[in-house]
Structure 1
């Protein structure tokens, strides 16, 4: 994050704008809407800017810029076409520890203006960190279409009831859960429909029975193989509501960053023979946190029900009658195949696909190898990097040809994705040389031959 988003309170604050052309006029509109006591320094200004200053009581100082123009000011904006003047304004402002924005010169800015969706008092700011203002404006237009104008009235309504709700529900977590239900329910609909009296009645009814808001819930969410864009809408929405997030090592940092900033994060990752938190303790922790009235997200790489032990976790929740939801995710096998350009099925190569785990609970790879011999079936092994030599050996011993194509996809769907291809007889040597890291996924079958032709389009 190159800039920290903040909101300045500028009502009656002394602000100086240097420059009075088209760009300066745009900045003046924003500053005056925010209630700034604006002084414009420029030999000439646009007719619109002159009218704005007259309407809002601003000052036009008809002169060239000097350093004394910054004295006793709280914020500085430079919008002149002269680079040397802008550089001097930046130097003078930083010497006085004043926030300064030089339009279209990110290198001279200590703060920048975002694109704004204004639903006062609800304000949404979008910034490209000065890299692409056009992209930020395009995103603003999309958000404008998604956020009704009545959200401002809803924010005002919530503000009026904030102290009332805090008095009725003093504990932070249940109070937040109460507000989340209000904002997603009938009360909010009544406010946005212009029926605030009815909304107030409904809110008071809900406050009269606050015990119902102490019930927690668990969301078992499949985070997919790594790319945050592969998360479902439901997964992203529920992740934003969580008080606590339990996550494992397969969950990428960009996905974890989608959680609320104030959510507690608990790492419960597991590696082969190295479990940070044993599975039975994870199961119990989900129950305990939910019984404290918290919304708990168990964030799992891939899909919770495909080698994710999700079934074990919800068993205990069901026994304790803890409400839960399971949100499926794109399993690693599908994600790795698509992003590496290897179709798992193809009319000319494979008519079926089989998913298998690369190691069992005791660390062995005791699979029914006789079932893995069809040349028209693709094999996908999860967690098989350590056991790769055994997998290759047993497939060949039980009848697979030694020249059967095989691929290893390392850190699938992420920027670090790497695909290694070979055959059952050569891949072990390739892995020893290239040293891929977990997580990796193994695909066996003639579909691997399509990788070279298709990876440029679907792969990384």
Structure 2
């Protein structure tokens, strides 16, 4: 994060704009809309200055910049084509510890002006850090369509009743109360222009003591997918934003964690091979305890919670203790990683079925139905198989597959660090060692791997970057 997003209160504060162009007029308008008094230093002012709202708070104070103009100012905006002249102003402002923005010269800025969606009092800002203003404006345009103007009226309604809610509802229950309000018919009434009805409904909810009661605790068992945040479901994202507590595994990526509610408590229960820091039974009971404390608890797992994720065990415990829960499926590694690797799991000419198996070694052996797995018309997807890859390949050959059966291993599938190594059952173990692959990985065996070279569409540009601890699947195991 190159810039910390902040919102400045400039009401009745004093700002300086250096420059008199049309662009400078637009910058001055933003300051005026924020309630500031604006002084302008420029030899000539563009006609646009004469059309600005609240012009009584706008004053042309000089033909050119001088450091004395910074006296008593709270922020400075510079619109100057001459880089040397712009630097003089920026340096003088920084010397006085004043926030300064220089149009089209991000290196001279201590703050930047984002693209703004104004739904006052709701404000949404989009910025590229000055690197691509056009892209930021395009994103703003898209968000404009998603945030109706009525959101401003809804926020104003809440603001008018904020003090009454503070008096009537305990601090620990206010957030849940406001969530009930914004998800209730109150919001729909505002959106449809029935503001007086919305006001009456909100007043009734404030008076209704039952609406103040803390929500019953609940567990959200959510699949986070194979690692790429773009592959989250809408429902997963919604629950991630409203949970009070996040219980997450080692293989849930940081970008996905960052999409959870910012002030939610985070509890790490990650497991690595031979190092189960928190036993599964303790995790199960932890979810029960948190829910019975009245907390909305997000159990976040890589991939899908019901495919080698032990989600079934967790909700069994929740059922035994009468705890409410929801399950949100995620894109499992078999589907997500294979797609990003350009390997279809089924194909009319190559595979008519798919087998998902775990390659997790137990006492240095596998417990598998080899006859049902080692079929030539079937694709085999092996989770957690990196450590036992040589033994896996030997066993598949021993139980009927040919030594030249195509096979692939994918590291960090769907992520910018994705790597795909292809070979055969004979060569893949050596290729994996030579490539220095590390978990998490996924192994795909079968004739569909032949299509990889033809169908590979995802070509990450940073595949050589250092591998991060990011998920593929099965948060309770290591590949």
Question: TM-score higher than 0.5 here?
Answer: yes
- Tell me, which stretches of 5 or more residues in structure 1 are unaligned? none
Question: In structure 2, what is the Cα distance between the partners aligned to 1:454 and 1:349?
Answer: 14
Q: 1:186 aligns to what?
A: 185
Instruction: Using the TM superposition, name which of 255-264 and 203-212 deviates more.
Output: 203-212
SS in structure 2 of the partner of residue 381 of structure 1:
strand
Provide closer, same or farther for how the CA distance between residues 154 and 206 of structure 1 changes in structure 2, counting only shifts above 3 A.
same
Q: 2:152 aligns to what?
A: 152
Instruction: Using the TM superposition, name which of 373-382 and 159-168 deviates more.
Output: 159-168
Instruction: Using the TM superposition, name which of 423-432 and 94-103 deviates more.
Output: 423-432
**1:190 shift after superposition:** 2.3
Q: Is the 8 A contact 1:244 1:266 kept in 2?
A: yes
1:56-95 deviation per Cα after TM superposition (whole angstroms, max 9, x unaligned): 3311124111111111111000012222210100010001
| Residue 142 of structure 2 corresponds to residue 142 of structure 1 | yes
Scaled by the length of structure 2, the TM-score of the pair is 0.92
Q: 1:46 aligns to what?
A: 46
SS in structure 2 of the partner of residue 25 of structure 1:
helix
Question: In structure 2, what is the Cα distance between the partners aligned to 1:322 and 1:440?
Answer: 34
Q: 1:206 aligns to what?
A: 205
Count how many residue pairs are aligned between Structure 1 and Structure 2. Answer: 458
Q: 1:415 aligns to what?
A: 416
Q: 2:97 aligns to what?
A: 97
Scaled by the length of structure 1, the TM-score of the pair is 0.96
Q: 2:161 aligns to what?
A: 161
Q: Is the 8 A contact 1:225 1:250 kept in 2?
A: no
Q: Is the 8 A contact 2:32 2:57 kept in 1?
A: no
**1:363 shift after superposition:** 6.5
SS in structure 1 of the partner of residue 355 of structure 2:
strand
Question: In structure 1, what is the Cα distance between the partners aligned to 2:164 and 2:54?
Answer: 41
Question: In structure 1, what is the Cα distance between the partners aligned to 2:103 and 2:327?
Answer: 48
Q: Is the 8 A contact 1:32 1:56 kept in 2?
A: no
| Residue 349 of structure 2 corresponds to residue 340 of structure 1 | no
**1:362 shift after superposition:** 6.4
1:113-153 deviation per Cα after TM superposition (whole angstroms, max 9, x unaligned): 00000011110001111111111111111111111111111
SS in structure 2 of the partner of residue 214 of structure 1:
coil
Q: 1:107 aligns to what?
A: 107
Instruction: Using the TM superposition, name which of 116-125 and 311-320 deviates more.
Output: 311-320
Q: 2:127 aligns to what?
A: 127
- Tell me, which stretches of 5 or more residues in structure 2 are unaligned? 461-479
Q: Is the 8 A contact 1:341 1:450 kept in 2?
A: yes
Question: In structure 1, what is the Cα distance between the partners aligned to 2:90 and 2:178?
Answer: 43
Q: Is the 8 A contact 1:53 1:59 kept in 2?
A: no
Q: 1:268 aligns to what?
A: 269
Alignment of 1:210-221 (within 5 A): 210=211, 212-221=213-222
Provide closer, same or farther for how the CA distance between residues 357 and 448 of structure 1 changes in structure 2, counting only shifts above 3 A.
same
Q: Is the 8 A contact 1:99 1:110 kept in 2?
A: yes
Instruction: Using the TM superposition, name which of 220-229 and 75-84 deviates more.
Output: 75-84
Question: In structure 1, what is the Cα distance between the partners aligned to 2:177 and 2:57?
Answer: 43
Question: In structure 1, what is the Cα distance between the partners aligned to 2:54 and 2:153?
Answer: 30
Provide closer, same or farther for how the CA distance between residues 372 and 193 of structure 1 changes in structure 2, counting only shifts above 3 A.
closer
| Residue 282 of structure 2 corresponds to residue 281 of structure 1 | yes
Instruction: Using the TM superposition, name which of 4-13 and 200-209 deviates more.
Output: 200-209
Question: In structure 2, what is the Cα distance between the partners aligned to 1:53 and 1:372?
Answer: 74
Question: In structure 1, what is the Cα distance between the partners aligned to 2:123 and 2:197?
Answer: 26
Question: In structure 1, what is the Cα distance between the partners aligned to 2:396 and 2:285?
Answer: 39
**1:171 shift after superposition:** 3.5
State the superposition RMSD in angstroms: 1.6
